[in-house]
A and B are shown apart, each in its own frame.
Chain A
Amino acid sequence: MTYTNKNASTLARHSSRIKSQIREFFDSQGFLEVDTPIMVKIPGMEPHLSIFETKLEIPSTYENQTPQALYLNHSPELQMKKLLARTSEDATFGKIYNMAKVFRNGEFDSKTHNPEFTMLEWYRYDSDYNEMMTDCENLIAHLTKNTTNTASKAQLSPHFTQNTPQPENKNNSSHNLTPSTHELVYQDQKIDLSHPFTRKTVNELFIEHTNIDLNENKTYKQLKEKAENLKLPINSCETWDDIFFTIFLNEIEPKLKAYTKPIFIYDYPSSQAALARKSHKDPFWAERFELYIAGIEIANAYSELIDEKEQRDRLIEEQNQRKNLKKSVFDIDEEFLNSLKSIRKPCSGIALGVDRLIMLLTDTKSIEDLLLFPITHILKK
């Protein structure tokens, strides 16, 4: 039972401040903020996303007057990786970040979705997803440290508490920002923000909560039989991934709320990570993680796939999936594939939902309460 009818102007001040602090953090870490377009000719190929489409009118000075179909970007990741690929010649783009609106059609009627929302993405040349986990820990430490350390700021945001006073941390290296002792209260739940956050593989969670070892159930038939033996309802699931998600959403995700620390869930099935590098140990798994705090999915990261040929195959696979799902189908982004050829070292990247993070930091129950103009205000149920 919570009182969420918070003053809109207070919340707007919190939001603005948190966004400044996000920029402050990345600037201090030597990242470059880059702009990426909202409208793109070829969006990413994620099979399940619905994309907003628009038309670019061509001025009469052009020979070809046919309007160009453009799409509202659902993530700037292809553009970010094209920039990252320039690093081998120009170190400027070795550490980049971007905070921009992204668009996903049909995604609302939920506490955590609005069809347009603010996404923070950052990328590192010469790194892997482990470094992204450290970045997440440090970013959250920075956002909570600055809000708690002075009395006036603490008053602005009553939702942070601190166990012990912390000395001003002067060390800005990416690996040693804090020994954080912060905690955060979200909807009456205490979250321990001390480092390190919990880390568990997807398979560890499946074994822990359902007794299913996915390593022994890698085919549709195996997983279906196993789930049926355990009496898990998977009636209308037609693919391995459908069963996976149905079990994850019913048996695992609801239990993530019980974790008192933020949790990195890592190593996802490769079928759910088309832009991520496959694990060296077992290519069934890919180096992808998601960060959950208080049961809310906050961020999604990869060790980036940089093999041009493998990336092409997987984009084609996703293109086919989009055809089968009757979603609009896009061309393969040749410029993107081409750019991968110039990447000489492993890279990593992450997308973090800024609105959701602000909800957590301000103890706001729903994205609708946070946004000044949520989509639901123009619709009546």
Chain B
Amino acid sequence: METTTTIRKGLAINFKQGAWLIIEAQFVNPGKGAAFTRCKLKNLKTNQVVENTFKSGEAVELVDLLMQKCQFLYKDHEGYNFMNNDSYEQFQLTEDMLGDDGKWLLENTEVYAMYIDGTPVSIQVPPKMDFRVIESPPGLKGDTATGGTKDIKLENGVMIKAPLFIKEGDMVKVNTEDGSYVSKAN
């Protein structure tokens, strides 16, 4: 089994008898201590997200993960259907397998699918995506108690907080990792 001592976002590792994708990796050093890397890991089978802090330089086993560009086709009662852009092969992932990521998918959205031993197990949505605003109540002027934000609804049904100047019909860029507003999109 291949190992690495550089723990980075995007790597898939074997940890606690499972295959996990590192979805966040941050430098930490406890006062007076050695450097550590704090990771958020997503289980590639169950989608469970856990945090673990590894000692910097600690060897971890890598999972052989293949990333391939795919297109989201449609959702039916069994799950989400995709097509591999290279092989045109179609496959389905259940709602459980996609977890929270499913909500960002619009028809024809391009994503990366992750394959372990030839089987697609999960997808990676782009970190930033553009959405049309379908509901945006007029903001209250001078309402600084809310930090100058209001709740808006995106075309995929997701509610996010955005600045007061955002109007219905605008395109906005959204961070799909935490659902936060990034900027107005063109």
Mark out the residues of chain A between 86 and 116 whose CB falls within 8 Å of any chain B CB in the assembled complex. Answer: 106-111, 113
Q: State the B residues within 8 Å of A (CB).
A: 16, 25-36, 38, 51-53, 55, 57-59, 144-145, 147, 149, 160-163, 178-183
A107 to B28, CA, bound (A): 8
Query: Which B residues touch A241, using CB under 8 A?
Result: 33-34
- CB of A272 within 8 A of chain B? yes
A3 to B182, CA, bound (A): 8
The interface stretch among A137-145, A245-253, A336-344 is A245-253
Query: Which A residues touch B26, using CB under 8 A?
Result: 109-111
In the complex, the answer to whether B53 meets A158 with C-beta atoms within 8 Å is: no
- CB of A1 within 8 A of chain B? yes
A270 to B8, CA, bound (A): 33
- Give how many A residues have a beta carbon under 8 Å from the other chain's beta carbons: 38
- Closest CB of chain B to A316's CB: distance in Å? 17
Please, which residue of chain B has its CB at the minimum distance from the CB of A318?
B32
Tell which of A1, A158, A290 touches B145, judged by Cβ atoms closer than 8 Å: A158
Query: Which A residues touch B58, using CB under 8 A?
Result: 235-236
- CB of A300 within 8 A of chain B? yes
- Closest CB of chain A to B137's CB: distance in Å? 16
In the complex, the answer to whether A4 meets B180 with C-beta atoms within 8 Å is: yes
In the complex, the answer to whether B33 meets A245 with C-beta atoms within 8 Å is: yes
Tell which of A46, A245, A254 touches B30, judged by Cβ atoms closer than 8 Å: A245
- CB of A317 within 8 A of chain B? no
Tell which of A5, A107, A235, A273 touches B27, judged by Cβ atoms closer than 8 Å: A107
Do A1 and B180 form a contact, CB below 8 Å, given A155-B144, A236-B59?
A: yes
Query: Which A residues touch B147, using CB under 8 A?
Result: 3, 6, 158-159, 363
Please, which residue of chain A has its CB at the minimum distance from the CB of B145?
A158
Q: State the A residues within 8 Å of B (CB).
A: 1-6, 46, 48, 106-111, 113, 155, 158-159, 233, 235-237, 241-242, 245-246, 248-250, 253-254, 268, 272-273, 290, 297, 300, 363
Do A242 and B34 form a contact, CB below 8 Å, given A1-B180, A108-B27?
A: yes
In the complex, the answer to whether A249 meets B144 with C-beta atoms within 8 Å is: no
In the complex, the answer to whether A48 meets B33 with C-beta atoms within 8 Å is: yes
In the complex, the answer to whether A109 meets B27 with C-beta atoms within 8 Å is: yes
Q: How many A-B residue pairs have CB under 8 A?
A: 90
- Closest CB of chain A to B102's CB: distance in Å? 17
Query: Which B residues touch A242, using CB under 8 A?
Result: 34, 55
Do A1 and B55 form a contact, CB below 8 Å, given A48-B33, A245-B34, A290-B31?
A: no
Query: Which A residues touch B33, using CB under 8 A?
Result: 48, 241, 245, 272
Please, which residue of chain A has its CB at the minimum distance from the CB of B143?
A158
A15 to B28, CA, bound (A): 24
Do A110 and B28 form a contact, CB below 8 Å, given A1-B178, A1-B179, A3-B162?
A: yes
Do A254 and B29 form a contact, CB below 8 Å, given A1-B179, A2-B180, A5-B181?
A: no
Query: Which A residues touch B29, using CB under 8 A?
Result: 48, 107, 113
In the complex, the answer to whether A249 meets B53 with C-beta atoms within 8 Å is: yes
Please, which residue of chain B has its CB at the minimum distance from the CB of A6?
B147
Query: Which A residues touch B52, using CB under 8 A?
Result: 233, 250
Query: Which A residues touch B181, using CB under 8 A?
Result: 3, 5
- Closest CB of chain B to A309's CB: distance in Å? 22
Query: Which B residues touch A4, using CB under 8 A?
Result: 180
